[in-house]
Chains A and B, each alone.
Chain A
Amino acid sequence: MARILLIGLAGDSGCQVAAVGLHETLVEVLAANELIYAPTLIDAKEIPDKIDVAIVEGGIRNTHEEEIIKEIREKSGVVIALGACAAFGGIPGLANLKPGPELMNTIYNNWRGTDKGTIPTHLVSLDEQHPIKDFVKVDFIIPGCPPEVTDIAYTLTTLLSGEIPKYNSTQVCDDCPKERLGVYEPELKRIHEEIPDPDRCLLEQGFFCMGPATMGGCGAPCPTSGNTCEGCRGACLDVTDQGMAMIDAMTGLLNQLKDEFSVETYVGQLYRFTYAESILSEIARRRNK
């Protein structure tokens, strides 16, 4: 009977909700194991000892979360990063493009509805959003925003049966049914700007689809339903920087991209989920110290 912890840090509980979406598998898992800590589901204060599997949602944005993750690591056998925020920093990681204090000031003092507010002090913010791997060793990641329920089920059942889960994914395109002709429209656009040909690869039509630079395994639900892949499963295996991988590919295809491209418009496409773990932000962080 394994002791499982489910916790949310700097995230939005979506992944925990996805975990609960396990349905029958959840029943099975719960029957055979013990959910010892899950504040989203059951009220709890202290982090218990002797955790077998810690499932962590959300990244780290303040010292409180930093302490918690360290404590969890100490007390756990296996730590799983659940979802994009825990794994790569996630959408909150885009905030790293602005220095922490400036950001706090904008949000609490200079935003619609928060004019001249008070900047909260009960928590000590870090300068940046971090994936949990910046502080502790992570054994497995289940990527996605939110993660696929099947991935969660597979990871848990495999682990609990004493085996090591293996992820065998390449890129989203691998599962994408769209037809690829190999010819790319040189004008880039975003999916709300035009209605795409439903059968043909979106990127070829000039829609900024992150599929090629994104770890597969989700079954490509977004492109299948006519939406560009936003890259929620992070960079592909062996790739250290999702956004740069995409720029390398796009400049390989179109050479000159700048006229079509502004960082402001596309940073949220290239790095929607992975800016906090990108080499770019790592360099920026080091330089600004």
Chain B
Amino acid sequence: MTKVIFCTCGDALNDKIDYKALSAYVHTLEGVKETITMKALCTTGDKDALVKAMKGAERLVVFACTRSVCSKPIEIAMKTAGLPEDNYALVNAKEQIAYVHLDKSEATQKAKMLLKAAVAKVKAAQPLETMTYERSNEALVVGGGVAGLTAASELADQGFKVHVIERSPAIGGAMSLISKTYPEEDCTMCLRGPRMIELLTKPGIEYHVSSTVKEVERNPTGFKVTYSKKPVELDLSAKKGKGQPVEIIPNASGKYDLVYSDGPTKAQLKHVVNSKCGNCTSVYPAALMNIMEEAGEKTIEVGSVVLATGFEDFDPSGIPKWGYGLNNVITQYQLARLLDPFGPTGGIVARPSDAKAPKKIVMVQCVGSRDQEYQSYCSKYCCMAAIKHAGVIKSQRDPSAEITVLYRDIRASGYGFESLYNDTKEMGVNFIHGDIDNVSPQGDGLGITYTDGMGRTKTLDADMLVLSTGMKPSKGSEELAELFNVELTDSGFYKEIDEKVANITTRAPGVFIAGTATGPKNIPDSIAQAGAAAFMGANYMRTHLEKKVNHPVVNEDNCGKCGICRSVCPYEAITIPEDGFPEFDPLLCQSCGLCVSSCPTRALNTPSFGYDVIDAQVEAILSEKQDKPIVLGFICDDCGYNLMDTAGFTKSTYSSSFVPVYVNCMSNLSLRNVLNGVKKGADGVMLVGCVKERCHFLKGDKRVKGQMEIIADFFKTAKIHTPIKVLESSGTMVSQFTTELGELMKKVEEA
């Protein structure tokens, strides 16, 4: 027995839809025994009444407003009433009927069609079982920089075992190589020393350094990740009189050398001098490496993943205006290394050409950033890095040094940033608004030409030029993104699902992102984001342990094991055992319906979607067709539903000839469903799916386009003039929808 519950939205819809007529109408439908009319079922006031109204129903149709408002109250009430939560169909009378079709009789007629379709839908669909399962209890963090380590530490604190895969031979990342951080010029020593040692020895964290991810396989409990570890050859024998090994430096032959803690020796300074390019600065604190692990490939199983692969410096080589490659032109990051007491010069600012202290230093901002030719975005941290370094040199190294910062805009918008900027100005650091044009050797120093803020060409001379290079996604992010099925932004950073409300979550369930790998940011922001990512990763491993069983079932009388379903499945959820029928992994299956719509023998069906459910609705709608033409809308339940709602919210009216049938993805739609609609009397068809590459089920957008191109050709050959239109739409492209529908209606009238 099907019950129909009408809600009048506080009587607001009474003069827009004829409720009496509808109530009488649904009584004529097969299986409908009872109708109840309520005023506002979403309110707590109506809560008990709603539960009471539902009791005893086998199936439920609710005629109310948008699902974003009323689905939760309905589902809670169903649970209370002891009904399976998903055994109902909702007709959105407000946003999808009353607000968009102003003529009361038209609205009522469309409501009839949608009610009939809903009654048919609940009849054809079956309630779903819920299954429970467990996820793997280990987590993976890729990247051993400050974001990765924070995430790893938080996860370990929550009791999870954590694997950290780091490409370089030591953990710590960029931050551990910078001795001072802004705004308070905190010394990162405490991080590199005790904090790193604490992390390195923290129970629950296992580090895999010199390792890269090679293969990722998603399975129900998480991910099977294969990584490969390359050997690091190092001479670890004790060296007399050299102190402790503090750093590892990559050498020319691709191997690594150790640097010892016996202060700035000649040899070290020589190293700086020799390595003009600044290779000396890509070093790793020696204490933080783990070379004991055996080299080779290994596979681990994890339940959630945090990608925190950090950034890479923009490489200004070869671009004349910045002069990188000339003597004494270094990057801001290389300067940070020179300032580090544990760095290659023991903290002495020595210029590479002759190891002398530079007297005149010029810093250039926005190198590679905010530049359409290179990276259009602002790298956010470099203004503050320059300010900090200028201040450190002035206050702690050489108060008489002349420092000039050539900037476009100073971006100092964090806590304490502005006052650090002001302090630095007070110390006598010279800030000039301008853009660099050229650098050339001049005497034993450099001559710099720039255009100042007024458009005048000016010059500066310097002993050393420091380039504030921007941040780029680190090498290998693209491959990693592909392995984990994470999207990239145009700039190549990992892309979140939503910039605002879900900026740590990616399109791959269970994969979270943090730190500069998601875009330029400073240390506090990276740490905050990493903490959040760890929390979400932990939560993901603890929850999501329930799933509705909603995978297709195979009708063995029809299936000849052609294997097409197995090949189309975007989630590899189908296996066909030898001499057996297709089997579906209930955890892997995402219910996209692609296999159902692709099976040429119609052997597949599903409890809540697929052929019969779609056909039942199509036929119900068209059986109510009167003289007005009908345009069937096959609409994706995600973006498409939201689009229909947005049209209602914005009260954008459109033809009531348009009647929607929701499918869970365009992948779910078969041409046989569409043709059945046309056969049963649809005068036009509109398919509304997600915009390109945004399909929630990976293949829907491409598939439906492929189908429609072919059907359009067939229609032409067979001289069928029924117009079919595919609309790729996000949830907000209302005017595009109404325009396209308007055009479609014109074609319907012409046909």
CA A287 to CA B682, docked complex, whole Å = 12
Q: Are B675 and A283 in contact, with the CB atoms below 8 A? A: yes
Neighbour of A170 across the interface among B598, B601, B676, B718, CB < 8 A: B601
> A263 and B601 in contact (CB under 8 A), knowing A252-B564, A280-B718?
no
Q: Looking across the interface, which residue of chain A has its beta carbon closest to that of B670? A: A248
Q: Are B562 and A171 in contact, with the CB atoms below 8 A? A: yes
Query: Which of B15-23, B248-256, B701-709 participates in binding chain A?
Result: B701-709
Q: Are B558 and A248 in contact, with the CB atoms below 8 A? A: no
Q: Are A283 and B720 in contact, with the CB atoms below 8 A? A: yes
Neighbour of B719 across the interface among A183, A254, A279, A284, CB < 8 A: A284
- A255-288 vs B, Cβ < 8 Å mask (1 yes, 0 no): 1111001111001000000000001111110011
In the complex, chain B residues 487-529 whose Cβ is within 8 Å of any chain A Cβ: none
Asked if B31 lies at the interface with its beta carbon under 8 angstroms from chain A, I say no
Asked if A29 lies at the interface with its beta carbon under 8 angstroms from chain B, I say no
Residues of B within 8 Å of A, CB-based: how many? Answer: 47
Distance between A257 CB and nearest chain B CB, rounded to angstroms:
5
Distance between A259 CB and nearest chain B CB, rounded to angstroms:
9
Consensus secondary structure, chain A interface? helix
Query: Which of A46-54, A104-112, A237-245 participates in binding chain B?
Result: A237-245
Q: Are B601 and A236 in contact, with the CB atoms below 8 A? A: yes
Query: Which of A2-10, A83-91, A172-180 participates in binding chain B?
Result: A172-180
Asked if A30 lies at the interface with its beta carbon under 8 angstroms from chain B, I say no
Q: Which residues of B contact A161 (CB under 8 A)?
A: none
Consensus secondary structure, chain B interface? helix
Q: Which residues of A contact B558 (CB under 8 A)?
A: 170, 236-238
Query: Which of A130-138, A147-155, A208-216 participates in binding chain B?
Result: A208-216
- B558-570 vs A, Cβ < 8 Å mask (1 yes, 0 no): 1111111011100
Asked if A41 lies at the interface with its beta carbon under 8 angstroms from chain B, I say no
Asked if A251 lies at the interface with its beta carbon under 8 angstroms from chain B, I say yes
Asked if B542 lies at the interface with its beta carbon under 8 angstroms from chain A, I say no
CA A244 to CA B716, docked complex, whole Å = 15
CA A213 to CA B670, docked complex, whole Å = 14
In the complex, chain B residues 585-602 whose Cβ is within 8 Å of any chain A Cβ: 594-595, 597-602
> A248 and B710 in contact (CB under 8 A), knowing A168-B557, A216-B560, A284-B720?
no
Q: Which residues of A contact B721 (CB under 8 A)?
A: 287
Q: Are B672 and A239 in contact, with the CB atoms below 8 A? A: yes
- A18-44 vs B, Cβ < 8 Å mask (1 yes, 0 no): 000000000000000000000000000
Q: Which residues of B contact A267 (CB under 8 A)?
A: 714, 717
Q: Are A97 and B718 in contact, with the CB atoms below 8 A? A: yes
Asked if A68 lies at the interface with its beta carbon under 8 angstroms from chain B, I say no
Distance between A241 CB and nearest chain B CB, rounded to angstroms:
6
Asked if B30 lies at the interface with its beta carbon under 8 angstroms from chain A, I say no
Q: Looking across the interface, which residue of chain B has its beta carbon closest to that of A184? A: B567
In the complex, chain B residues 672-697 whose Cβ is within 8 Å of any chain A Cβ: 672, 675-676, 678-679
Neighbour of A253 across the interface among B564, B714, B719, CB < 8 A: B564
Neighbour of A173 across the interface among B562, B598, B675, CB < 8 A: B562
A residues sitting closer than 8 Å to B (CB atoms) are: 97, 168-175, 180, 182-184, 211-213, 216, 236-241, 244-249, 251-258, 261-264, 267, 279-284, 287-288
Given contact pairs A251-B710, A280-B720, enumerate 7 new A-B contacts (beta carbons under 8 Å): A182-B567, A211-B562, A240-B676, A252-B564, A255-B702, A283-B679, A284-B718
B residues sitting closer than 8 Å to A (CB atoms) are: 557-564, 566-568, 594-595, 597-603, 667, 670-672, 675-676, 678-679, 699, 702-703, 705-707, 709-711, 713-714, 716-722, 751
Q: Which 6 A-B pairs have the closest CB atoms?
A: A252-B598, A174-B560, A170-B560, A171-B560, A173-B562, A213-B600
| A-B contacts, 6 listed (Cβ < 8 Å) | A173-B561, A173-B563, A213-B601, A248-B600, A248-B671, A279-B676
